[in-house]
């Protein structure tokens, strides 16, 4: 199979390129694309549990737990046990987390614009729609299939 006809390879490469663009724009903030996604998800869903954040972001459970631990150390988020389930943590932004998110949002918007500029303007909405369709369709399939090897589960979802 030629790599230029492999969706898995092309999506991976596009993700790598997008990550490189993100890092070049975010040089003033010490954020990764996933950390930014978690900040946005927490800001939009204040008080969600880490389990719910897995569903919202698509980041696997162990990677999300690691991201939250690093963000706790940076003072970007705080977490408390939920009233409904003493085993679960509710995650909220700190003031520093809000400040970092506010500073990062214009840069993230520039990243999105730079990535979409690779396409003709008339095709950008369709591209985003197609990506969402892939994510939704494969997400539905993934939820129906129990992973055989949990070590590969995280690599598939991150």
> Which secondary structure element, helix H or strand E, spans residue 79, and what is its range?
strand 77-81
Q: Are residues 107 and 26 in contact, defined by beta-carbon separation less than 8 angstroms?
A: yes
Q: Which residues pair with 8 in a beta bridge?
A: none
The pLDDT value recorded for residue 153 is 46
Please tell me the distance from the alpha carbon of residue 27 to that of residue 107, in angstroms, as a whole number. 10
Over the stretch 5-30, which tens digit does the pLDDT of each residue have?
999 999 999 999 999 999 998 876 78
**Count of structural domains, the chain:** 1
List the CATH number of the domain containing 85: 1.10.10.10
Establish how many alpha carbons lie within 13 A of residue 30's alpha carbon, considering only the half-sphere containing its beta carbon.
Answer: 8
Query: What's the pLDDT band for 157 if we cut at 50, 70, 90?
Result: very low
Residue with tokens 């197609």: 130
Strand-pairing partners, residue 132, are none
Is-above-0.85 flag for pTM? no
Q: Which of 11, 32, 46 is nearest to 157 (CA)?
A: 11
Q: Residue 158, SS3?
A: coil
- Tens of pLDDT along 73-131? 999 999 988 777 777 888 999 999 999 999 999 999 999 999 999 999 999 999 999 99
DSSP H or E segment with residue 91: strand 89-93
pLDDT of the residue at 83: 77
- Find the domain containing 82 and state its range: 3-157
């Amino acid at each position: 199979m030629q790599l230029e006809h492999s969706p898995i390879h092309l999506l991976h490469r596009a993700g790598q390129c997008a990550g490189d663009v993100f890092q070049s724009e975010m040089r003033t903030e010490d954020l990764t694309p996933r950390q930014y996604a978690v900040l946005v998800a927490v800001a939009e869903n204040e008080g969600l549990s880490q389990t719910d954040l897995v569903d919202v972001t698509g980041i696997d459970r162990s990677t999300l737990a690691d991201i939250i631990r690093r963000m706790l150390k940076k003072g970007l988020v705080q977490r408390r046990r939920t009233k409904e389930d003493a085993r679960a943590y509710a995650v909220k932004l700190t003031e520093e987390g809000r400040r970092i998110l506010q500073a990062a949002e214009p840069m993230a918007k520039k990243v999105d614009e730079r990535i979409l500029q690779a396409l003709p303007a008339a095709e950008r909405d369709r591209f985003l729609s197609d990506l969402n369709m892939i994510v939704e369709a494969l997400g539905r399939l993934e939820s129906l299939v129990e992973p055989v090897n949990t070590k590969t589960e995280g690599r598939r979802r991150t």
